[in-house]
Chain A
Amino acid sequence: MKKILPLFLFLIALIACNGSKTGRSSEAGDTLQFRYAKNLTVVCYEDRMEATIRNPWDSTAVLGKYELKEPLKNIAVFGSVHCALFHELGADDVVGGICDLEFINQPEVKQGVAEGRIANLGNSMQPNLEQIVNLNPDALMPSPFENSGGLGRIERLGIPIIWCADYMENTPLGRAEWIRFYGRLVGKEKEADSIFLSVEKRYQELCAKAQSAKTKPRLLPEMPWSGQWTLPGSGSSSTRLYEDAGADYLFANLKGNGGVPLSTEKVVDKAVEADIWIIKHHGNLDRKQMISDTPLLAGIKAPIWWCDTSTTLLYEETPFHPERLLENLIAILHPELGITPKYEYFRQLTTDN
């Protein structure tokens, strides 16, 4: 993003902040304490809420600064993750427009679009300007990308843009905690706090159980494509998740906050030591075919657990429910703990797959 981004100050209407007002006083307002989220600051006043979203790529800049006086009623949502979140908060009716409709799995939203209640705003990377003007939403909720240049002409429409930088948090609970901010945007602070509290509680419980395990299986994630193997770096949320699940992630010292591409040769040298191999893959997976595609994989003997992202809701559900993913990982890594996941995303790859 640009080094200095415009600050968006919007007077929308009144929202009461009843959440965890355990923070210190900031003039007349209470700062909402975020225990895990690093890129958010929310201060609640009697008559309004002020929020600041920090620029995850530049600690000296902010992505947006907002003043909110009443809950948003008509939002243009840019992604399936946030659409699912509003559904969970019981705020389906705030979704006035949606981007990337083809990737939304919620029947209510699809029906809303079919009936004309929800506007189809087209592709999230290049939304339909006319549809947005026609919808006249209270706010737009896109995801920011580093050096993307923003939303172009749409930024000049004067519609508040709430940059959903949640995915840039480097801990699973950090991202999930954004639910408290999103809840306050739509007047669902109690529901949001309650959801997050239960997420946090379950996550910590699971984490403690995993840490008590006697073994620490060596974990290898993902698979190569076209000669490259992209692995989570040491500062990424995935690496933290693996640690919390009681895994000995083979590449825990890899420098980087996101995915780090490595040559297959380099990865395989270490990967032969893996005890468990987990893969997220769109569609069916076949070990024979994997080896046929990349012969170097023949040296990796670890059992494969895979998630078919085309048939599960992994990407929609787990960003704000990391405890579900953690539960799955612990069940795979530590079967001796006897944890049965309520939401099952991964299954073991057998010769029948």
Chain B
Amino acid sequence: MAKYKLKFLAIDLILLSIANVLWGSLDIPVKDVWQILCGKEIEGHPAWSIIVLQGRIPQMLTALFTGTALGTCGLLLQTAFRNPLAGPSILGIDAGANLGVAIVLLLLSGTATIGSLTIGGHLLVVTAAMIGALAIMALLMLLSKMLRSQVMLLITGVIISYVTSSIIQLLNYSATEQGVHSFVIWGMGNFASVGIERLPVFLVLSVIGLLLALLLIKPLDALLLGDKYAENLGIRIGRVRQMLLLVTGLLTATTTAFCGPIAFIGLAVPHLARLMLGTSYHRILMPATMLIGANLALVCNLLSTLPRDGSIIPISVITPLIGAPVVLHVILKQKNK
């Protein structure tokens, strides 16, 4: 049964990927999209081939891998911390990315000069977000060696989030109107910022993170039975924890740096997978989570282009609308236990 469901999700993913290429905020006839994919130019519409090839396709791939990565992060963290409400934001890694971007946009007004090199624009934002996220990840890895309890690590992550958000508020308070506007727009998340040029970097980092996550399936299944039982099975808990931090850190840092903070997907997708498949075993749950995460992100990307007046709905507006009912369901389920 699980196999059929996974197959269904995979077919769904293919259909949604095609829909993401065919559908955008601009109405391009399907036959013209097909012509463009066949390498032909559309007469009278010179921008269409750029829109499809350099806009929609990278955007579809970005959404697909972001959804996969965030869903996977959520699953790893929920299992590791035995906390159904754990998600990629819980450890403060995305808060580190936020802080990096806030420094660049609010304090440095979007440009930074190092020696004779001046960088700005999205490249600087991605670099700053990556540095911020990796710095927090390094700090957590260091602390995880010192802290024995998972709960303490979780609390540390929450504290880091509070500290970074208070620094961001301070930066916001004294920033220019333009800087605040840029930061707010970035904070709404989007899948359109990864162009064809940066797509390989994004994909390589995401694939490395996802492959490492697949290596964790066996230890995660053992962890479900408790730390001591897992140790009896030969699982080195400390090493698994470090690996887990590395994987979730890498995936969260990559997605937040390239797409901005995307809420709720990481939190909700593992629950959707559990609800759909009725299992806790990661051998099935992880691929299902990956597929559902990708599907959900592609749906969100489609929904963001729904207004036909040319405007777009920010991704961070859509994801909570889908994620919030799932979280409520989990909370109510916990309460009734």
Q: Which residues of A contact B (CB under 8 A)?
A: 102-103, 123, 126, 225-228, 260-269, 271-272, 282-286, 289-296, 298-299, 309-310
Instruction: Out of B50, B110, B178, name the residue touching A268 (CB < 8 Å).
Output: B50
A299 contacts B193, CB within 8 Å?
A: no
When distances are taken between beta carbons in the complex, the residues of chain A under 8 Å from B118 are 283-284
Query: Could you tell me the distance between the alpha carbons of A286 and B45 in the complex, rounded to whole angstroms?
Result: 26
Instruction: Out of B48, B109, B121, B312, name the residue touching A293 (CB < 8 Å).
Output: B121
Query: Could you tell me the distance between the alpha carbons of A298 and B24 in the complex, rounded to whole angstroms?
Result: 18
Query: Could you tell me the distance between the alpha carbons of A285 and B119 in the complex, rounded to whole angstroms?
Result: 9
User: A228-B185, A271-B47 known; A265 and B123 CB under 8 Å?
Assistant: no
Q: Which residues of B contact A (CB under 8 A)?
A: 24-26, 45-48, 50-51, 54-56, 58, 109-111, 118-123, 173-174, 176, 178-179, 182, 185-186, 188, 190-193, 195-198, 260, 305, 310-312
A88 to nearest B CB, angstroms? 22
A297 to nearest B CB, angstroms? 9
When distances are taken between beta carbons in the complex, the residues of chain A under 8 Å from B178 are 282, 309
Query: Could you tell me the distance between the alpha carbons of A149 and B193 in the complex, rounded to whole angstroms?
Result: 35
A263 contacts B193, CB within 8 Å?
A: no
A283 contacts B54, CB within 8 Å?
A: no
Name, among B55, B121, B195, B196, the residue most crowded by chain A CB atoms within 10 Å (CB to CB): B121
User: Can you list 18 residue pairs at the A/B interface with Cβ under 8 Å?
Assistant: A126-B173, A225-B185, A226-B122, A226-B193, A227-B190, A227-B312, A228-B190, A262-B312, A266-B310, A268-B55, A269-B45, A272-B46, A283-B120, A284-B111, A289-B119, A289-B121, A296-B47, A310-B109
Instruction: Out of A126, A266, A294, A310, name the residue touching B25 (CB < 8 Å).
Output: A266
A292 to nearest B CB, angstroms? 5
Q: A269-B26, A294-B195 are in contact. List 9 more A-B contacts (CB 8 A).
A: A123-B173, A226-B193, A263-B25, A263-B192, A263-B305, A271-B47, A292-B121, A295-B50, A299-B51
B23 to nearest A CB, angstroms? 11
B190 contacts A265, CB within 8 Å?
A: no
A103 contacts B25, CB within 8 Å?
A: no
Instruction: Out of A267, A290, A296, A310, name the residue touching B54 (CB < 8 Å).
Output: A296
Query: Could you tell me the distance between the alpha carbons of A44 and B123 in the complex, rounded to whole angstroms?
Result: 56
Query: Could you tell me the distance between the alpha carbons of A260 and B121 in the complex, rounded to whole angstroms?
Result: 21
When distances are taken between beta carbons in the complex, the residues of chain B under 8 Å from A299 are 46-47, 50-51
